[in-house]
Amino acid sequence: MRRFNRNGVAVLTCAVAALGLLALAGAALANGGPFVLKHPGGDPAAKGVLARLAPDLKPGRETRLQVVREDLEVRFEPAPAIGTGGKNQRPAGPVAFVAARYFITNPTPETVTVDFGFPIMRGIYISPFAMMPRPDVRVVVDGTNHIVPEILSNSAIYGALRRKAAAEIETALQADETLRERAQALGAGASAEAREALVAFLAARRHWKRSDAELLADYLALRPAASAGAAGPAAAIAAPGAMVRSEATFSFAWGADASLRAAAQESAWSVQCIGEQKATQWLTWLAACLDPAHASSYEALFEAWGGDVRERSVDLATGRVRPRENESAASAGQAPPRAPGDGVPTVYARVDYLETGKNLPAAQKAAWERVLKNLPVVFTFAPMNLLHYQVAFAPGALRTVKVLYRQYPYEDSAAPASYQLAYVLHPASLWDSFGPIRLTVVVPQGVIPVSSMPLNDRVPVPQPGPGEPGLPPGRLWQAFSAPVSTKTGELFVGLSAADWARTLEGWPGFSLLSVKPGAAK
């Protein structure tokens, strides 16, 4: 992942609210939460993968188990009907049902228990009609054992990173006597001379950039007094295994480990004025400046799971992967800025956010503004949320692990306008043994899908397995299949928006909402 210098880069400025926290188990989920996408405008970062989850929330290498094969099914189906004025209508775009079925064996003589991670970049479909809004995601083992995966929200991940970084900052401050003394002189109401003394010390003795030194000075001035010196252990970000429900449990409740729920609320002082994205970048940046060994940024985590800052699509005419086009967003003045030296306007910039409605004293406001000014511009294009679950494999066992979920495809306005879905293949390369991957795409008759892996074979429509939803009634279905020849990068599947609209118009008993096919919302 590339990181760009702030000089010469246009930075979007927007007063946006910080992302909401993950709802607790059994509690209603607030609209606009980080992993909820209710509108069929598309999700340019909807991706899923399977990998071993390491304690730092990155994918870890698996050397003991073997993936015999992966059967990946992508099914484009109509969104649930909306009843308005006595007429049943459907949103213009489809909903994608994804079934990732892994056949995994344990060739070792011992039981192997693995914490699996499955990141979904941004959107998990959630029904707008549910009495209790629930993400449409489930994990099924051997067809009968239903696991409730923990959904580690984007906010929980940010909070865990901040908690770890804050502990490392305080530890570093206490370890250096001179730095500790100069830091103690700073705080709310500290003199300009004390601030300049710290900045000069870091520049002269530590060879810091002045902008980084000012970031630390403002951290010391803005943090609450209770935080000073409260180093605590800089523990691992998470402790996988402590948050997983029983494999025999079957429930659609969801939640997070108590420590991660607490992490999402920690360092609230750093979030309230600049939002959790920038606050997390700020604290992790400082921890890395004080000790490069402690570099643990959100961007590094994003990249480790295969996240890409550039939105891409498969071209329906050629089958080649190209930059995504979003004409409606461009005409509305929402087009992402171009990166230096990059002629592709498909990079989403992180926004600068400053809450100005808190009646901040002038000195505090100036400090927050300096923080935003001094932080490098980092390009990140989507929130990431992790599913986490645990499966045990007895010696010699062969088990089927299925991750089932729905999400909205994203829209591409390049002619012909299309709906697209992206799937990350990268973590397959982290297994010592990962067998073939077979892609099957199911669509209504009258729609021909296009994939970055050519769909050369027509196959019988797969029947749903145990614990899997059936096909929506009212239309004949067809299936296309292809072997996936690579285990890195991304897989793309697209279909014509015009073909989809014609198919949906003919769906018995329903009519299409008056939305231009392919138009981004």
Give residue-wise pLDDT tens across range 456-503.
889 999 998 888 888 887 778 999 999 998 888 788 999 999 999 888
Sign of CA dihedral 56, 60, 65, 68: positive
HSE at residue 489, side-chain half, CA atoms within 13 A, is: 10
**d(Cα 280, Cα 384) in Å, to the nearest integer?**
14
pLDDT interval class at 29 (50, 70, 90): very low
How confident is residue 354, by pLDDT bands cut at 50, 70 and 90? confident
Spatial contact of 158 and 276, defined as CB atoms under 8 Å apart: yes
Residue type present at position 498: A
Identity of the residue numbered 58 = K
Alpha helix positions (H), 102-209: 154-175, 177-184, 192-205
Confidence of residue 9 (pLDDT cuts 50, 70, 90): very low
Architecture of the CATH domain 36-151+382-512: Sandwich (2.60)
Alpha carbons 289 and 213: distance in angstroms, whole number: 9
Write down the pLDDT at residue 497. Answer: 93
User: Tens digits of per-residue pLDDT, 137-159?
Assistant: 889 999 989 888 888 777 788 88
Residues 124, 264: Cα–Cα separation, whole Å: 20
The residues near 60 (Cβ < 8 Å, ≥ 6 apart) are 51, 52, 53, 54, 430
The conformational region for residue 34 under phi > 0 = left, psi -120 to 50 = alpha, else beta, is: alpha
- pLDDT of 3 reads 27
Predicted confidence (pLDDT) per residue in 166-225, tens digit? 989 999 998 888 888 888 877 656 678 888 889 998 998 889 999 999 999 999 988 886
